[in-house]
Structure 1
Amino acid sequence: MFTSNFGSAAKLFLVLAGSFQLLPTTNQSPINLPAVANATSPYYTAGVVEFSSSNSLEDNLVGFLELISSADAESTDIIVFPESTLNNIDTATYVPDPDLQLNTSACLLGNTSIYSDFLVQLSCSARQARKYLVINLTERENCSTTALDPRPCASNGLNIYNTNVVFDREGRVISRYRKWNLYGEPKNTTATVELSIFETDFGVRFGQFTCFDILFYEPTQTLVDLGIRDLVYPTMWFSQLPFLTAVQVQQSWSYINDVNFLAAGANRPAVGSTGTGIYAGREGALVSVMNTGSGVRQLYVAQVPKLGQTQNGLQVTREHKSTTPALQQAPRLSQADIFLKRDYMEEYNTMEVNHNSSVIMLWYSLCYKKFCCSFTLWPYHVNSAPLAADEEHYVYRVGVFEGRRYETGAETTNALRTCAVFACTGPNITDCGTLFAANVTQKRHIGFTRIMIEADFPTVNQSLLMPNSLRDDLLPLDVNEFEWDESQNEDGTRHVRYVSNTNTTNLLTFAIYGNYYDDLGWNEEETTTTAVPTTEPGAGDGVGTLVKPFMLMWILAGLLSVVLK
């Protein structure tokens, strides 16, 4: 039952009256409106929603229905809503099982069914608007102990799930996915992981998963292994510096898997939740946003090229439509703009980057146990003017890590091998992975014309190596601003080369982020780590003890050219 004030109830009535008539009978005729895309179209039109929820189911439902029926949504074939922004455990609903009730439309059953009224209304909204809808909600299911799931039931006899529900254009539930990797959620999981795939009338097969799932092999990478090239992703992400802010992860994952990715994020920057986008694999972001502030309920729309059908002269549009004016982002974000969690940077082996203004090129070799990374940086000072007494700027460290990633509140975790350049607000490792305080005057002081990271990674069946970058507006480098190369070494390891080919003055992170899902191939023995800085002659602070042969040849060639002049 709805419990909010009369004003919200009146608003809800107006929305429903203006969009559809709820019928309790089963003889409602199909609504014949033309589909925007079909099986032969080279693209489909997708919408993703960033949504700031309230504690009122009624108010949230009003917001969902308004977006679905809005003019900006008119051209869309599919709309994805974010995680945990509709209802909660107190208002959990039964959901039709698409395997057993494929032709069931809650809209046609009306309020005579076991399904909650808000599920019925969303079914009718999908039917009226003729769109596929992906809705994340809290689901209830009657629990029973079976041979396939012998786990005991709760005292109330219910299972509670974090569930994605997919409605087709007739309002039927055609797919359902129950989140597998929970993040501090008092909810149930299924006995085994669900691999949820659904077909559309515009010729695209979608897979789906939710939020924290993206860091794990099941079901995320299994869907990709099965050949799914388009995925929907409701999320309420809690962004973390320096590697795991929302859009940073979304674009990186879409890029390395070369899949279309529709990510819809909850909006609550005060707890670090924002981040929404539509990504076209190696083509990069079609639209992506990290909204600061509060109260955003916004639809972003893009034409998504069907993978394998982009050779017919189709231009990938990077523009988007929105239901509200786009928020203006602060050029340099501070702690007051958004709350960001911090990774355990103290676990990394790191070295501070030389910030001497006379340095032209730097090279570092840094190891964690026997896992080593090579860093080549071309730094420069943005301007030569000295900083004022109240001005601060980011400094940088290179770092290497191999081991388990620990996350407070997570029931499961993942293992990493990471090579990284990251920004710090001061000279100590405790200053890394943070933004400046709101009362600090920030100045862009250090830039890089180029960064190159290279490393050899063990090859195991369940691993994913990703390009990982972040600017100080909390968006990653565009895909045309970096180069990513992988090759096989004779010993079976994978050599990765990650290069930024753009001038950056606002960099927070540039890293190879290796996710090792199965924990295999670790270097358990302790070894002495090495850190060898090398600067070009004339740097004014000495030359490192180890110089790469190619670098030595470059130096000698330069000296020879001077002698011959």
Structure 2
Amino acid sequence: VPGEGGTSWRRRPKPREFLIMSGASRQLALFLCVCSVAALGVQAEDAQYVAAVYEHRSILSLDPLSLISRTQALELMNQNLDIYEQQVMIAAQKGVQIIVFPEDGIHGFNFTRISIYPFLDLMPSPHLDKWNPCLEPQRFNDTEVLQRLSCMAIKGQMFLVANLGTKEPCHSSDPGCPDDGRYQFNTNVVFSSNGTLVSRYRKHNLYFEAAFDTPLEVDHSIFDTPFAGKFGTFTCFDILFFEPAVSILRDPEVKHIVYPTAWMNQLPLLAAIQIQRGFSIAFGINFLAANIHHPSLGMTGSGIHTPLKSFWHHDMESPEGRLIIAQIAKNPPGLISTGNTTSKMDIAHSKLLKILAGDLYSEKDAEDIHCDGAPEGNMSAPPTFNSEMMYDNFTLVPVWGKEGYLQVCADGLCCHLHYLRPTLSNELYSLGVFDGLHTVHGTYYVQACALVKCGGLGFDTCGQEITESTGIFDFHLWGNFSTSYIFPMLLTSGMTLETPDQVGWENGHYFLRKSGLSSGLVTAALYGRVYERD
């Protein structure tokens, strides 16, 4: 994706003191919340479906700023589509029913508005009758990519989700019509297993993408499947905003999200797999995320996430892509009543739907999970200091000793930590709080409580990007958030996702509890978004 001027890679500048991720190669991993699985029992095979996501190392244009012909653009895109087709056929042999490919995977990035034009397919109006590009290739011009994707879906007998650049002509009477007489969109498309185009979504929250336009209206793209009901879709940076990522979940039947992305990892709070898993847990849904694979740009991290387990891939060393296949529940475990049939949603999800519908939120409704009261404050509190984390000015306190209780506050948000460390390591950890408007590479209001490993032993290293640690914690982290939209994040050494023991509301506070980490803690965070204050 191009920068503002269309001439630089989409790389977030990092302060010099930030550490470069070591990126130890990690294989596909599965984590189960044992107690929850035991309560739910084994899912019947017909209550599950098989999904796939492909982290693709795209073949890029050597000079994305140059003007080339449509024929030359198709030659490049067909190289990527050849790889897509290979993955579809591998997935078909495994019984996959839906596959997701990443953002920018077909055409690449770093274009200008003019130089990307030969790479754009024409997107017909969604109000037209159903169209099958593979079977009706002559119906519209400049739809070669859509035709290939449609034929892949037929060949693999699966639903297929991909991202491409599209164009839509507009008239000068349209007040939003660009001077060149066309809209250019970053677009997700969905094909059914018979090749029919069943949905399209135009990215709403662009991330320095000068080649594309923002749609005048937000697309709420939902499609139905015979194997798992309703799915929604959005793209990359959209995940941090209410529209459409949260609003699409107002439909209680949407229990699955397909998510093409080209995400650059930024620790300690916004690595790709962190936010993907956090979204899945926060909303109790299945989240199918396909990221682009360009480790030199910090781009890796894909997964098939459910509220109770994740299948993921994060690899900063290998140049190869990765196909992830998993069998997951049609009704995500977080939405199933453990004492009854799969058709009934639990109380917590019903209350979430009230929040999404805009109903008044009450503290009584929030008390779904009970936790112990906070211990008394320490007689001698540790020093408070400030350090930059995620380009924001966090207020922090050091986490010293084998056990204790800490509190740190800023601008109305107070974060609390009760912790026990079986053994001490020669590492500095800190508890941080931020309650304010984030203004770097996007403007959005954040409330965050974060327990993080610092880059060194000095306070000024807290907030740096690290991926390895040895410190083991049993802990209870909570805060008095003013928002209902909080993403729990739990990351351990080697970019390993862990499952919280419990998350939920208690007496107006949102909490995360975990004991028995499998490896050293990197980040435990509650990342809240206050959308109305953006």
Aligned partner of 2:510 in structure 1 is: 496
Give the secondary structure class of the aligned counterpart of 1:108: coil
Residue 447 of structure 1 and its aligned partner are, at CA, apart by 2.6
Name the CA distance, whole Å, in 1 between partners of 2:323 and 2:315.
Answer: 13
Contact 2:92 2:157 in 1 (8 A): no
Q: 1:414 aligns with which of 434, 437, 444?
A: 444
Change (3 A) 1:445 1:237: closer
Do structure 1's residue 365 and structure 2's residue 407 form an aligned pair?
Answer: yes
Residue 116 of structure 1 and its aligned partner are, at CA, apart by 3.0
1:180-233 CA-partner distances (Å, limit 9, x unpaired): 011111110111111001112225111111111111100011111222111111
Change (3 A) 1:93 1:349: same
Residue 360 of structure 1 and its aligned partner are, at CA, apart by 3.2
Name the CA distance, whole Å, in 1 between partners of 2:124 and 2:194.
Answer: 14
Residue 464 of structure 1 and its aligned partner are, at CA, apart by 0.5
Give the secondary structure class of the aligned counterpart of 1:214: helix
Contact 2:490 2:499 in 1 (8 A): no
Aligned partner of 2:158 in structure 1 is: 131
Name the CA distance, whole Å, in 2 between partners of 1:519 and 1:188.
Answer: 24
Name the CA distance, whole Å, in 2 between partners of 1:373 and 1:233.
Answer: 31
Residue 80 of structure 1 and its aligned partner are, at CA, apart by 0.6
Q: 2:148 aligns with which of 98, 121, 126?
A: 121
Amino acid corresponding to residue 322 of structure 2 in structure 1: Q
Q: 1:433 aligns with which of 456, 463, 470?
A: 463
Change (3 A) 1:243 1:71: closer
Q: 2:167 aligns with which of 140, 160, 167?
A: 140
Do structure 1's residue 207 and structure 2's residue 227 form an aligned pair?
Answer: no
Matched positions, count: 416
Name the CA distance, whole Å, in 1 between partners of 2:413 and 2:466.
Answer: 32
Gaps of 5+ in 2: 1-44, 61-75, 109-115, 343-387
Aligned partner of 1:516 in structure 2 is: 530
Q: 1:375 aligns with which of 417, 422, 430?
A: 417
Residue 132 of structure 1 and its aligned partner are, at CA, apart by 0.9
Give the secondary structure class of the aligned counterpart of 1:447: coil
Name the CA distance, whole Å, in 2 between partners of 1:483 and 1:419.
Answer: 16
Contact 1:372 1:400 in 2 (8 A): yes
Aligned partner of 1:451 in structure 2 is: 475
Aligned partner of 1:403 in structure 2 is: 436
Name the CA distance, whole Å, in 2 between partners of 1:203 and 1:344.
Answer: 37
Aligned partner of 2:31 in structure 1 is: none
Name the CA distance, whole Å, in 1 between partners of 2:215 and 2:139.
Answer: 28
Give the secondary structure class of the aligned counterpart of 1:458: coil
Give the secondary structure class of the aligned counterpart of 1:229: strand
Amino acid corresponding to residue 444 of structure 2 in structure 1: N
Name the CA distance, whole Å, in 2 between partners of 1:426 and 1:365.
Answer: 22
Give the secondary structure class of the aligned counterpart of 2:46: coil
Q: 1:181 aligns with which of 193, 198, 205?
A: 205
Give the secondary structure class of the aligned counterpart of 1:61: helix
Name the CA distance, whole Å, in 1 between partners of 2:432 and 2:336.
Answer: 41
Give the secondary structure class of the aligned counterpart of 2:155: helix
Residue 246 of structure 1 and its aligned partner are, at CA, apart by 0.8
Give the secondary structure class of the aligned counterpart of 2:429: strand
Residue 145 of structure 1 and its aligned partner are, at CA, apart by 4.5
Aligned partner of 1:153 in structure 2 is: 178
Change (3 A) 1:344 1:255: closer
Amino acid corresponding to residue 102 of structure 2 in structure 1: P
Aligned partner of 1:306 in structure 2 is: 330
Amino acid corresponding to residue 519 of structure 1 in structure 2: R
Residue 273 of structure 1 and its aligned partner are, at CA, apart by 1.0
Aligned partner of 2:290 in structure 1 is: 264
1:457-476 CA-partner distances (Å, limit 9, x unpaired): 225xxx40121121122232
Query: Which of the pair has the greater relative contact order for Cα pairs under 8 Å at 6+ separation?
Result: 2
Change (3 A) 1:63 1:343: farther
Change (3 A) 1:121 1:295: same
CA-based RMSD: 2.5
Residue 313 of structure 1 and its aligned partner are, at CA, apart by 11
Aligned partner of 1:218 in structure 2 is: 243
Q: Which region of structure 1 is more displaced relative to structure 2, 498-507 or 245-254?
A: 498-507
Give the secondary structure class of the aligned counterpart of 2:480: strand
Give the secondary structure class of the aligned counterpart of 2:175: coil
Name the CA distance, whole Å, in 2 between partners of 1:145 and 1:464.
Answer: 41
Give the secondary structure class of the aligned counterpart of 2:417: strand
Do structure 1's residue 507 and structure 2's residue 528 form an aligned pair?
Answer: no
Aligned partner of 1:484 in structure 2 is: 503
Q: 1:101 aligns with which of 118, 129, 134?
A: 129
Contact 1:47 1:73 in 2 (8 A): no
Residue 351 of structure 1 and its aligned partner are, at CA, apart by 1.7
TM-score, structure 2 length as denominator?
0.73
Residue 310 of structure 1 and its aligned partner are, at CA, apart by 9.1
1:78-89 to structure 2, matched below 5 A, reads 78-87=98-107, 89=116
Name the CA distance, whole Å, in 2 between partners of 1:346 and 1:77.
Answer: 42
Q: Which region of structure 1 is more displaced relative to structure 2, 232-241 or 55-64?
A: 55-64
Change (3 A) 1:248 1:344: closer
Change (3 A) 1:96 1:309: farther
Name the CA distance, whole Å, in 1 between partners of 2:522 and 2:160.
Answer: 36
Name the CA distance, whole Å, in 2 between partners of 1:82 and 1:269.
Answer: 15
TM-score, structure 1 length as denominator?
0.69
Change (3 A) 1:86 1:457: same
1:216-295 to structure 2, matched below 5 A, reads 216-227=241-252, 228-281=254-307, 283-285=308-310, 287-295=311-319
Contact 1:363 1:376 in 2 (8 A): yes
Aligned partner of 2:394 in structure 1 is: 348
Give the secondary structure class of the aligned counterpart of 1:457: coil
Contact 2:412 2:435 in 1 (8 A): no
Aligned partner of 1:12 in structure 2 is: none
What is the identity percentage for the equivalent residue pairs of Structure 1 and Structure 2?
31
Change (3 A) 1:166 1:505: closer
Amino acid corresponding to residue 120 of structure 2 in structure 1: A
Change (3 A) 1:240 1:203: closer
Do structure 1's residue 53 and structure 2's residue 58 form an aligned pair?
Answer: yes
Contact 1:77 1:131 in 2 (8 A): yes
Which protein has the larger Cα radius of gyration, Structure 1 or Structure 2?
1
Name the CA distance, whole Å, in 2 between partners of 1:98 and 1:154.
Answer: 23
Change (3 A) 1:430 1:84: farther
Give the secondary structure class of the aligned counterpart of 1:53: coil
Residue 379 of structure 1 and its aligned partner are, at CA, apart by 2.6
1:500-534 CA-partner distances (Å, limit 9, x unpaired): 212465211112211111119xxxxxxxxxxxxxx
Do structure 1's residue 167 and structure 2's residue 200 form an aligned pair?
Answer: no
Contact 1:143 1:159 in 2 (8 A): yes
Contact 2:124 2:168 in 1 (8 A): no
Residue 346 of structure 1 and its aligned partner are, at CA, apart by 5.7
Name the CA distance, whole Å, in 2 between partners of 1:233 and 1:71.
Answer: 18
Q: Which region of structure 1 is more displaced relative to structure 2, 254-263 or 85-94?
A: 85-94
Name the CA distance, whole Å, in 1 between partners of 2:291 and 2:107.
Answer: 16
Name the CA distance, whole Å, in 1 between partners of 2:84 and 2:272.
Answer: 22
Change (3 A) 1:267 1:445: closer
Give the secondary structure class of the aligned counterpart of 2:408: strand
Name the CA distance, whole Å, in 2 between partners of 1:170 and 1:211.
Answer: 27
Gaps of 5+ in 1: 1-39, 315-341, 384-392, 521-565
